[in-house]
Amino acid sequence: MANEQSWELDPSKFPKKLELELSSDAMEQLRATAEQAGRSVDELILEILDQALQNRRSSQNMPESDPG
């Protein structure tokens, strides 16, 4: 019989809760952008965080230029 434990969920792979404190101006900009894009504010925040993390990862993997 197949591994009986294979159906168990791995909590380490669950999404993690993240709380952010944003200024009212930043929140208003997010709301306006989300509305224009037809998306939720949560989706927009996740996309922004994902892009920032990918950009950071890319810049860390780039060889440093020789200053001279």
How many CB atoms neighbour CB 6 within 10 A?
Answer: 6
> Using CB atoms within 10 A of its CB, is residue 68 exposed (0-12), middle (13-18) or buried (19+)?
exposed
The dihedral through the CA atoms of 21, 22, 24, 30 has a sign that is negative
User: What is this structure's pTM?
Assistant: 0.61
Q: Give pLDDT tens digits for 1-42.
A: 455 667 888 888 888 888 989 999 999 999 999 999 999 999
End-to-end CA distance of the chain: 65
